[in-house]
Amino acid sequence: MATPATPATPAPMGNTFDFGMDTISLSGSLEAKLAAIKAAGFTQVMLLARDLTGHPDGAEAAARAVRTSGLRVTGFQVLRDFEGLSGHLHQYKLDIARQMLELAASVGAKTMLVCSSTSVHASQDSDVLARDLRKLAMLAIPFGIRIAYEALSWGRTVDEFPQAWDLVCRADMPNLGLGFDSFHMFATNTSLDALEQVDAAKIFLVQLADFMWQETRTAEERITTARHYRVFPGEGVHSEDLSALVRRLHEMGYAGNYSFEVFNDDYAQLPQGFVAQRAMRAAQWLGEDVLRRSVPLPNEMRLRASAR
């Protein structure tokens, strides 16, 4: 992707209001991340539990920093390996889930992301998995938090979104829905047509990211790519697929938020402003070109990804 010589001007909020950045893409302190995200023109941020617990002045100070940043919290991540455990493992994970919910509530998060289990200790029985998700959703109700359940592409039982959707339907709780991550969908080559089964109102969060190669053949390859080599939408080789996905979600009536779930080792060692501006270019591309929210003025030059 070509890099503009001058920083991109923040787009009008109207075109990018539903796109947000993840703190995971940035280096530095929480305050510096929040400031860079805001300065790039974003109105929302996806937080990691570590953003709070790793704050040098403690989780309460971190929560204050978030609340005073003026950024809306897209969601809070991530609870892993929750469903399907029994006995003391289940009790342990319940304690973790409760702590995560309390942290999420402390920053005013209304959505918590839960990834499908990778644990070999977990049951593979759909009824057991659905029962645990139902319990987790119940724990979240008093806080007004919605649970977005996401299929990790290396999940043990659930590794594609149609399976996650099946569990969401089985569990049948109003505050339990789907977390949707484009990376995992592309990694497993899941057909976009499977979205036809899904109720748009039950998609609670969409995370978007691309990567630089066409195929990830093994679970190990997916894990390495997912954790180190993701790029912002428009920077990788799946731009057409991402466009089709976002347009499809829009046509289905999805009215929730999009967050850029970009784990990238390069971005994690570069200045926050540089990375946040790349994220904003992705938001502008999606908001203006893909969703065609506004037609750019004649002669307005904007540098775009060469991959498209």
52 binds other proteins (CB under 8 A): no
292 binds other proteins (CB under 8 A): no
Residue 222: which of 153, 303, 301 has the closest Cα? 153
Residue 148: which of 223, 161, 231 has the closest Cα? 161
93 binds other proteins (CB under 8 A): no
142 binds other proteins (CB under 8 A): yes
CB of 277 to other proteins, least distance (A): 30
Taking a C-beta distance cutoff of 8 angstroms, is the pair 276, 40 a contact?
Answer: yes
Chain residues 180-209 in contact with other proteins, contact rule CB under 8 A: none
131 binds other proteins (CB under 8 A): yes
110 binds other proteins (CB under 8 A): yes
Closest to other proteins by CB, 121 or 228? 121
136 binds other proteins (CB under 8 A): yes
User: In this chain, which stretch among 49-57, 120-128, 207-215, 233-241 interacts with other proteins, using CB under 8 A?
Assistant: 120-128
User: In this chain, which stretch among 8-16, 136-144, 188-196, 232-240 interacts with other proteins, using CB under 8 A?
Assistant: 136-144
User: In this chain, which stretch among 39-47, 133-141, 190-198, 263-271 interacts with other proteins, using CB under 8 A?
Assistant: 133-141
Taking a C-beta distance cutoff of 8 angstroms, is the pair 246, 290 a contact?
Answer: yes
Q: Distance between CA atoms of 148 and 138, rounded to whole angstroms?
A: 13
Among 50, 64, 80, 135, binds other proteins (CB under 8 A): 135
Closest to other proteins by CB, 143 or 274? 143
State which amino acid sits at residue 41: G
Rg from Cα positions in the chain = 19
248 binds other proteins (CB under 8 A): no
Among 34, 47, 164, 173, binds other proteins (CB under 8 A): 173
Footprint of other proteins on this chain (CB under 8 A)?
Answer: 98, 110, 125, 127-128, 131, 134-139, 141-142, 144, 172-175
